[in-house]
Structure 1
Amino acid sequence: MTDTLTRSTPVKDGPPVPESALRTHSIGPFEFETGGRLPNVEIAYETWGTLNADRSNAVLILHALTGSTHVAATAADPEPGWWEGLVGPGRPLDTEKWFVLAPNMLGGCYGTTGPSSLDPDGSPWGSRFPFTTIRDSVRAEALLADVLGIERFHAVVGGSMGGARALEWAATFPDRVAGVAVIACGAHSTAEQIAFAQSQTAAIRLDPHFAGGDYYGGPAPEGGLGIARRIAHITYRSEAELQGRFGRSPQPGEDPFGAPVARGGRYQVESYLDHQAGKLARRFDANSYLVLTEALMSHDVGRGRGGEGAALAGVTARAFVAAVDSDRLYWPEQSQELARQLTGSASRAEGRDVPLHLINSPIGHDGFLTDLEQVYPELVQTLEL
């Protein structure tokens, strides 16, 4: 694996603690939706706040594709998290009131069992790691909740791939989810989203170091992973943001006119993408990127449930749906359609439609990370936080 999470020492099979610390918990053998079995799966997670006596104050937060368990800083881990303004004392998810749980997705590389994890014989699973779906991850997270004694979440919150997982939680376990927030994600992956994702997975598999997925012990396919990240990052940002930030300006000290990149000629936007690619290649495992990307490609809440309308009508949780107005990966229209089809939600039962809340951000899809504070009041009100 290219990197592992080393912020704190995992404490196996320990109870939730008031301060955030990376922990792992075994959920035992696991059967995957499309076939395949692992003899043991461990789920890594972090927590904030204190679980109350009747375990009724739990909130589940689910990360995006290359995210981690580290949602927000605490004294135990002062590094800022990826939704830093959301969790903590006096924040929308006030940890004086709520117990917040953030697991790493099944197949990931931040502590949860994934392709870089060792099998019982001590070898990485690599290419033998089973195909994983969003529903597989949700079932694994539910088993973790069982171990922790949490029968029902007051809210399940996620953005992008985390939004897909949050929606699957509400559809798969309606009795265990009182409220759900689906941010910058629709009810299924579209043809265009699958096309962007397939280009990324192909880049990794074509890397000469990929070795069919069994590259551990040798050079990692960082080149292919870097190209995948470049493709993804373009979809995460808007055309207007890239144009306004970089335009056609050359990278300082480099002249791209007549000099290919190999000879030191880059535009600023090329340098920016190179930087993003390098950062991810240093911290993420290429096989995990494949597993999680293909899980998101398979996202379809209506699969096997009589179609999307029937599946969403069965979601009974209070529902909060938000989109980024400049998002060109998960178009706001998809979120609007999702909100329209949540006919069984508690909001509709109370005589209210499920509105679409728009985050106004010029940067595109990543606005769900950088500008979520715009909809904090509505999130708190809808989910009764």
Structure 2
Amino acid sequence: MSLAPVSCIDPTPAGPCLDDARPPAARRGEFDLDLALRHAGRRRLRLRYEDVGDVRAPAVLVAGGISAHRHLAAHAADAAPGWWDAQVGAGRVLDPARWRLLSIDWLGADGSLDAPIDPADQAAAIAALLDHLGVGVLHGFVGSSYGAMVGLQFAANFPARLDRLVAISGTHRAHPYASAWRALQRRAVALGALQCDDVDGLVLARQLALLSYRTPEEFGERFGPARVVEGRVRVAAEDYLDHCGNAYAQRTPPVAFLRLSESIDLQDVDPARIAIPVTLVAVEQDRLVPLAEVYALAQHLRGETRLRVLRSRYGHDAFLKEPGAIAAVLAEALDAGVPA
């Protein structure tokens, strides 16, 4: 295991280059599958995915937090911004001209699955996607937050189908402190439902979640003191929290939030079952995934393990807000063993 801080630099990674000047192909699809859910029995489900890049290129599965989705970045078939445009696109570390990039909408993200969803269920769905697309082995699985948890499950349960894993801000188990944060968020949704106000309950839950994703240092730099507005005290961060909470509630069904939030707390995988190369990324200021938890994971993985530690005022959200540092880690991990 190696341990080193990663500075925010802009890498120029090497990688496979396919002789084709055309824009990378982008395919969006969905299919039905029968899946035996770990806690809810066999269900008929629909999996939605995107597949961007040349089918001859090494395949990399990319997954983010519970609010992430299959659209990673703008491409020829969909010019809308994706959730990880900072890392995905022409000239970036996850360039679809060099990699075949696969991604999914999480099971339950549309609100249609009102049952406990284990991260292992998501890993099984990804294995079904590989079967559907005829992909035998992934060159890499890049997971951030919840996606890192699912990546660890995939590495443990389907080791023959994965060459390497990059797990950013996610570990083999949910920390009790982080689970307590999420339990309160789910209670906010429940209280809203009791008042026939699901939306406001979800808005409040998302606002509480944002406080756990970020750090006091960031808020101290961004926001000033409280002020009196129309006879009541309003703190400077409220406008920001209101905007983020309302935007999230407009695109997320409450059931989806509840079940995917619960899914994080169901994470439980034995690191000793994972023998492939793993790159772990931890953030010192992350209050949801403490550094000590990542050290514990690193010590029990059986394969080649690299640990990279970042320092970021963005805490858990560093994978979204520190593009240079994350790109450097991805380049190091994915390019290993790949001809230039």
Q: TM-score if structure 2 supplies the norm length?
A: 0.86
Structure 2 residue 282 is the aligned partner of structure 1 residue 323: yes
Q: Secondary structure of 1:355's match? A: strand
Partner residue of 1:332? 291
Q: Counterparts of 2:125 and 2:195 in 1: how far apart (Å)?
A: 28
Q: Which of residues 221, 225, 239 is equivalent to 2:202?
A: 225
Cα deviation, residue 149, structure 1 = 0.8
Q: Secondary structure of 2:148's match? A: helix
Partner residue of 2:48? 44
Cα 1:35–1:208 change in 2 (3 A) is closer
Cα 1:355–1:224 change in 2 (3 A) is same
Q: Counterparts of 2:172 and 2:245 in 1: how far apart (Å)?
A: 29
Q: Give structure 2 stretches of 5+ with no counterpart.
A: 1-22
Partner residue of 2:5? none
Cα deviation, residue 75, structure 1 = 2.0
Cα 1:25–1:361 change in 2 (3 A) is same
Cα 1:314–1:210 change in 2 (3 A) is farther
**Most deviating of 328-337 and 181-190:** 328-337
Partner residue of 2:142? 157
Instruction: Report the residue type matching 1:326 in the other structure.
Output: Q
Cα 1:375–1:130 change in 2 (3 A) is closer
Cα deviation, residue 358, structure 1 = 2.0
With CA pairs under 8 Å and 6+ residues apart, which has the higher RCO, 1 or 2?
Answer: 2
Partner residue of 1:130? 115
Cα deviation, residue 87, structure 1 = 2.1
Partner residue of 2:221? 244
Q: Counterparts of 1:274 and 1:280 in 2: how far apart (Å)?
A: 10
Q: Counterparts of 2:193 and 2:262 in 1: how far apart (Å)?
A: 21
Partner residue of 1:32? 37
Instruction: Report the residue type matching 1:23 in the other structure.
Output: G
Q: Counterparts of 2:322 and 2:217 in 1: how far apart (Å)?
A: 17
Cα 1:355–1:141 change in 2 (3 A) is closer
Partner residue of 1:92? 93
Q: Does the Cα contact within 8 Å between 1:134 and 1:164 map onto a contact in 2?
A: yes
Instruction: Report the residue type matching 1:373 in the other structure.
Output: G
Partner residue of 1:9? none
Q: Does the Cα contact within 8 Å between 1:70 and 1:81 map onto a contact in 2?
A: yes
Identical aligned residues as a percent: 30
Cα deviation, residue 210, structure 1 = 7.6
Partner residue of 2:129? 144
Partner residue of 1:10? none
Q: Counterparts of 1:50 and 1:335 in 2: how far apart (Å)?
A: 34
Q: Give structure 1 stretches of 5+ with no counterpart.
A: 1-16, 116-124, 212-219, 302-310, 348-353
Alignment RMSD, CA only?
Answer: 2.1
Instruction: Report the residue type matching 1:71 in the other structure.
Output: L
Q: Counterparts of 1:376 and 1:78 in 2: how far apart (Å)?
A: 22
Cα 1:137–1:205 change in 2 (3 A) is same
Q: Secondary structure of 2:247's match? A: helix
Partner residue of 1:379? 330
Q: Which of residues 262, 269, 278 is equivalent to 1:294?
A: 262
The equivalences for 1:1-385 within 5 A come to 18-27=24-33, 29-38=34-43, 40-52=44-56, 57-109=58-110, 114-115=111-112, 129-208=114-193, 221-250=198-227, 255-256=228-229, 259-260=231-232, 265-301=233-269, 311-342=270-301, 344-345=302-303, 347=304, 354-383=305-334, 384=336
Q: Deviations over 1:133-159 (max 9, x none)?
A: 111111112112111111211101111
Q: Secondary structure of 1:268's match? A: coil
Q: Counterparts of 1:229 and 1:87 in 2: how far apart (Å)?
A: 26
More strand, by proportion: 2
Q: Counterparts of 2:237 and 2:312 in 1: how far apart (Å)?
A: 20
Q: Does the Cα contact within 8 Å between 1:69 and 1:102 map onto a contact in 2?
A: yes
Q: Does the Cα contact within 8 Å between 2:285 and 2:315 map onto a contact in 1?
A: yes
Cα deviation, residue 249, structure 1 = 4.1
Alignment: residue pair count:
314
